[in-house]
Structure 1
Amino acid sequence: MNEPSFIVTRPGERHEYRYDPGQPSRHLFVHFTFEGAETEAPPLRLLQRGGPPIIRSGDELLANLMKQLMLVAYLHPGNFRRRAGLLLLTLLEELDSLAEDSPADRPEEAIPPQIAKALDYIDKHLGAPLTVDELAASVGWTHEHLSRSFVRFTGRSPRETIVHRKIERACQLLLHEERSVKEIAYSLGYSDENYFYRVFKQVKGITAVEYRRKYFNPWYSELHPIGEGDTPYPQNRILFNAAMLNDKQDKQGL
């Protein structure tokens, strides 16, 4: 996968994950079940045996639902079961709608290692005024060949990819740091803050100031610090309802 995605694995389905050591990634896992019979589960195609295994989506709403679910579990364990359950059902409904609206998965061409390397190079140099020529040189391709390949395998030109990844990092910094918009713009290689403002609004549809005002949550300070090439998610935790677990153990004679 070369884009944000949701992976769904239902009970009884065999699954295996292989991670590319040369392509940094971040993952959130939510393991859940429904009390009682399986018939109590909502009638979503997503939850049925043989349902879609992968739903590709970079929708910020869905990512924030996952993030909020983790925050509730971490910061509000007292009413985690009710709140997290509602958040999870909302997320499942939205994902199921995406699966229904999307065309059937088609076999995709494997992304060339040069493209993967170029994407990694972009993520590691977001603070620099990166050019397409520099990016092409980093993978040993010409400017023209890199541009054609990027459009073919990512749907965006190298320049558009650089801009979008810089703006995505800016969004993270706006929500997880207290630096001013001007300072964030400079940290991402923009020497002209007004140009950064225009680019941000062009990509996100709202200004950077409006984005921070609309989405900022002080609890995000609890998340794992942002590093180069990282997406800020909570540190690994296993969360469960201890009362339910003890009750199940008693019934099983454990």
Structure 2
Amino acid sequence: MCTIHHTVKGTASAPVQLPLIHIVGDIAKKAGSGLGPRTIPDYELLYFPDASRSIYRIGDQAYTLDEPSFVLTRPGESHTYEYDIQQPARHLFIHFGLPDTHQALELLPMLRPGEASVIPVDDQLLVGMMKQILYISYAYPTRLQERGSAMLLTLLTELNGQLYDDPVRAQIKRLPSQIVKALDYIDEHIEEPIAVEMLANRSGWSHEHFSRSFMQYLGRTPRETIIQRRIERACQLLLYEEWSIKEVAYHVGFADENYFSRLFKTVKGMTATEYRRRYNNPVYRNLVPVKETETLYPANRILFNVHVQ
């Protein structure tokens, strides 16, 4: 039986037992067909890659799979699929068991009865793990429990995190491409004058819709966003470069040093000089700013560091 041992300095935990994979497949059902009602003796994780009008029913609840989604069915749950009448319903699926159910339910609350059944996710990393497990089952079936089970545990852990680690963020839709492109443009032209009307025109949206969308997704107006990103870039330059405050202001699009200083203190609650004095560290030297839209975490910093003695 495959296990993973988790150990933290000063403590020791029981080995984490990997799920046992039973059935793996990738099929496309005819439009208008269905499945069930049925119950299964094990767990089933499915991924529906296409937005459709297919419906997943479990108990008295019905879920329309109108965006790419993972579906989790637990042992003994009566469920039904009613597939879209207009298009085939493709889905990837993995049936699996839990050698230590009590331990698994402690680690992964989403496996408990009554928890979420449909998890809208279009994260290509998670989808890639699902596809890799299917590939291993096809190309290296004798290695499936060794390689695929560990990956399945990771996939389940990440899906569990989508639900419980940050439930507010899990409900936030991804930024529309028009907003991402606007943010990229601001970052790439931070030294230049940037008009909101121009950004709206580049997005293909009306000025009103563009501004409303910024408030909806970012919680601030386009003008406030431009200022915020200029100040954040200034914070980086204050730590990365030995420029004067005037030079920093110029490099983030402010011709008036006094106006920049007033805005900086309003946004950060301290002057630019105080910010540099408080956060200056030799480790920041020779760094360069990067676009903030490239990652889900702040770049140019050490995110986690376990000091080993």
- TM-score normalised by structure 2 residue count: 0.43
Corresponding residue for 1:211?
275
Alignment CA distance shift 1:131-1:177 (3 Å): same
Corresponding residue for 2:241?
177
Corresponding residue for 2:221?
157
Question: In 2, Cα distance between the equivalents of 1:127 and 1:150?
Answer: 21
Shift of 1:192: 0.7
1:37 equivalent in alignment to 2:12 = yes
Flag structure 1 segments of 5+ consecutive residues without an equivalent. 1-10, 13-31, 40-47, 53-98, 245-254
Corresponding residue for 1:86?
none
Structure 1 segments (4+ residues) deviating >3 Å: 102-106, 238-241
Query: 110-119 or 186-195: which moved more?
Result: 110-119
Corresponding residue for 2:107?
49
Alignment of structure 1 residues 100-111 onto 2, 5 Å:
107-111=171-175
Between Structure 1 and Structure 2, the one with more helix by share is: 1
Corresponding residue for 2:212?
148
Shift of 1:208: 0.5
1:229 equivalent in alignment to 2:291 = yes
Give the root-mean-square deviation of aligned CA atoms.
Answer: 3.5
Please say if residues 147 and 158 of structure 1, whose CA atoms lie closer than 8 Å, have aligned partners that are also in contact. Answer: yes
1:123 equivalent in alignment to 2:97 = no
Please say if residues 233 and 289 of structure 2, whose CA atoms lie closer than 8 Å, have aligned partners that are also in contact. Answer: no
Q: Which has the higher contact order (CA 8 A, sep 6+)?
A: 1
Please say if residues 197 and 208 of structure 1, whose CA atoms lie closer than 8 Å, have aligned partners that are also in contact. Answer: yes
Could you report, residue by residue, the CA deviation over 1:95-125 in whole angstroms, capped at 9, with x for unpaired residues?
xxxx99x875552233211111111111111
Please say if residues 124 and 228 of structure 1, whose CA atoms lie closer than 8 Å, have aligned partners that are also in contact. Answer: no
Aligned-residue sequence identity (percent) comes to 47
Question: In 2, Cα distance between the equivalents of 1:51 and 1:105?
Answer: 18
1:233 aligns to what SS in structure 2?
A: coil
Question: In 2, Cα distance between the equivalents of 1:214 and 1:110?
Answer: 34
Alignment CA distance shift 1:205-1:234 (3 Å): closer
Please say if residues 236 and 289 of structure 2, whose CA atoms lie closer than 8 Å, have aligned partners that are also in contact. Answer: no
Shift of 1:50: 3.6
Flag structure 2 segments of 5+ consecutive residues without an equivalent. 15-105, 111-163, 293-297
| Residue identity in the other structure for 1:136 | A
Aligned length: 154
Corresponding residue for 2:56?
none
Question: In 2, Cα distance between the equivalents of 1:234 and 1:108?
Answer: 25
| Residue identity in the other structure for 1:131 | A
1:220 equivalent in alignment to 2:284 = yes
Alignment CA distance shift 1:131-1:33 (3 Å): farther
Alignment CA distance shift 1:51-1:216 (3 Å): farther
Please say if residues 289 and 300 of structure 2, whose CA atoms lie closer than 8 Å, have aligned partners that are also in contact. Answer: no
Please say if residues 182 and 193 of structure 1, whose CA atoms lie closer than 8 Å, have aligned partners that are also in contact. Answer: yes
| Residue identity in the other structure for 2:179 | I
1:190 equivalent in alignment to 2:254 = yes
Question: In 2, Cα distance between the equivalents of 1:194 and 1:220?
Answer: 26
Shift of 1:51: 7.8
Between Structure 1 and Structure 2, the one with more strand by share is: 2
